[in-house]
Amino acid sequence: MNKKYLALSLLALASCGKKEDEQKKNAAPPPTPVSLVAARTTEAVYYDEYPATVVALNTVELRTQVTGFVTGIYFKEGEVVPKGKRLYEIDQRQYQAAYQQAQADLRSVQANANNAEVNAGRYRRLAEQDAVAKQLVDNANTTAATARAQVAAAQAAVNIARNNLGFSSVTAPFSGRIGISQVRLGSQVGAGTTLLNTISSEDPVGVDIVVTQTDIARFAELQNSKVARGDSSIRLVLPGGKTYPLPGHIRTIDRGVNSGTGTITVRVEFANPKRELKDGMSAVVKVLNTQSGQRIVVPFKAIVEQMGENFVYAATDSSTAQQRKVKLGPRLKDQIVLLDGVKDGEKIVTEGVQKLRDGAKITTEVPKAPPAAPGK
C-alpha cells in the first residue's frame, strides 16, 4: 500500500515539473536592457568633398625662337621673376652682325632710290620741254619705283634681323615663379624645340575638380553668386589635413561634359598671397551642401542596416521598440543626420540595438546580478 502511494506521488511531481517547463517556454521574454538618446534638431553644416588638383592659371614653357648656344642665365631657380626680366641669352654675335648688315643694305638701297628719284625728276622736266624721248622718261620712272620697292624689302630685312637679335634674349612674359632650368651655360638650343624652363603664376591659383553632370546647375548657381568676405561655401583642405584659410569661388565650368564618364571639370579660384598652394598639389575641395541647416541628428551607432536599408529603433510609450526606416544624411563625426523617419525629441535606442526586433519590450534599467551562492 505504501508503495502505491509513493508511485502516485512521484507521478504528481513529474506532472508538475512538466507544467512548469511548459510555462517557462510560453512565458514572454524579459525586456531587453537598452540605452536611449533623444533625437535632437541642431544646425547641421556639412560639405560635399571632391578630390582636387591645384593648377596655375597661367603657365608658359620658355623656348627660344633662334638657334645657338646659351651664353647667359640671369635668374635664381625657383624665384619669383617680374614681367620683362631677362632670363636667358643666346649667343648674339651672329644676330648682331646680321642686324648691322641689314642696316647697311638698307642705307645702300636708300641711296640708290634717292638717285633714281632725282634722275626720274630730271627726265620728267626734260619731257615737258620735248627734249627727251618718252621711253627714257618711262625707264627712269620704272627705275625709281624699283628702287623704292628695294628700300621696302631692305627695311623688312632690318626688321627681321632686329627681331632675331631680340629673340636671342629670353624674357619673362609675365610675373611668376621660374622653375629649374633645363639647360646650362654652353648648351646648344634649337629654335622652337629646346625647352629652357617653365614659368607659372601663383596668385591667384585654380583648383580643378570633376563633378557629375547632375551637379552642373548647382555649380552654375555658385558661379553666379557673389562671394562675400569670409564666405564658407567653398573650402580647400590641404594634403596634411589643414583647412586653407581663404575661401574660393567658381571661376570656370568647362565647355562640355565628357560623354564617356558623364562628368565635367569645374575650376575654383583661390587667392594665394603666401604662395602656399603649388601647381600640381593634390587637395580636397569642400562645397557646402544645399541641405545644410536645422536637421535631426542621432548617434551613428543607433543605425541598423538591413538588406541595403537603414533603420533605427524608437521607444514607444508602452516601453516597446518600434523599428523605423530612415533616410540618412551625411555623417558628422559620431553623429549622423536623418533626413526622414524620426521626429525631434523621440527616444532612439543606441545600446542593445543588435538584440532587438520590431515590437520587442525594452527597459532602461540595468539587470540585477543573481545573488551569490552561499559558501560551504
- Is 375's pLDDT higher than 60? no
Cα atoms in the Cβ-side hemisphere of radius 13 Å centred on 145: 6
CATH number for the domain whose boundaries are 48-56+203-288: 2.40.30.170
What is the third-level CATH fold of 32-44+293-363? 2.40.420
State whether residue 286 is helix, strand or coil: strand
Q: For residues 109 and 101, is the Cβ–Cβ distance under 8 A?
A: no
pLDDT band at 80 (very low <50, low <70, confident <90, very high): very high
pLDDT of the residue at 62: 94
Residue 376 pLDDT > 50: no
> What percentage of the chain exceeds 90 in pLDDT?
39
Helix (H) or strand (E) holding 327: strand 327-332
Domain residue extents for the chain: 32-44+293-363, 48-56+203-288, 64-90+169-200, 93-167
Give the pLDDT score at 372: 52
Collapsing DSSP to helix, strand or coil, 34 comes out as coil
Each residue's pLDDT tens digit, 3-50: 555 555 555 555 555 555 555 555 566 777 888 888 888 777 778 889
Fold of 64-90+169-200: OB fold (Dihydrolipoamide Acetyltransferase, E2P) (2.40.50)
Q: Please give the mean pLDDT across all residues of the chain.
A: 83
- Taking the C-alpha atoms of residue 128 and residue 315, their distance in angstroms, rounded to an integer, is 123
Joined grid coordinates for residue 191:
629654335
Is pLDDT at 248 greater than 50 in this prediction?
A: yes
pLDDT digits (tens, 9 = 90+) for 330-365: 777 788 888 888 888 888 888 877 777 877 887 776
The pLDDT tens digits for 154-192 are: 999 999 999 999 999 999 999 999 999 999 999 999 988
Give the pLDDT mean for 206-224.
90
Q: What cell was used for 242? A: 589643414
Are the C-beta atoms of 79 and 175 separated by less than 8 Å? no
Phi and psi, residue 39, nearest 5°: -65, 135
The CATH architecture to which 93-167 belongs is Orthogonal Bundle (1.10)
Name residue, grid cell 629673340.
167
The answer to whether residues 21 and 334 touch, using CB atoms and an 8 Å cutoff, is: no
Locus of grid cell 647667359: 72
Q: Residue 226 pLDDT > 80, yes or no? A: no
Question: What's the number of CA atoms in the CB half-sphere (13 Å) around residue 233?
Answer: 18
- Give the Cα separation of 256 and 94 in Å (integer): 49
Residues in the chain: 376
pLDDT of residue 95: 92
Contact 67, 191 (CB under 8 A): yes
Please tell me if the domain spanning 64-90+169-200 has the same topology as the one spanning 93-167. Answer: no
Question: Quick check: helix, strand or coil at residue 253?
Answer: strand
The pTM (predicted TM-score) of the whole model is 0.64
How confident is the model over 113-153, as pLDDT tens digits?
888 888 778 778 877 787 777 888 778 788 888 889 988 99
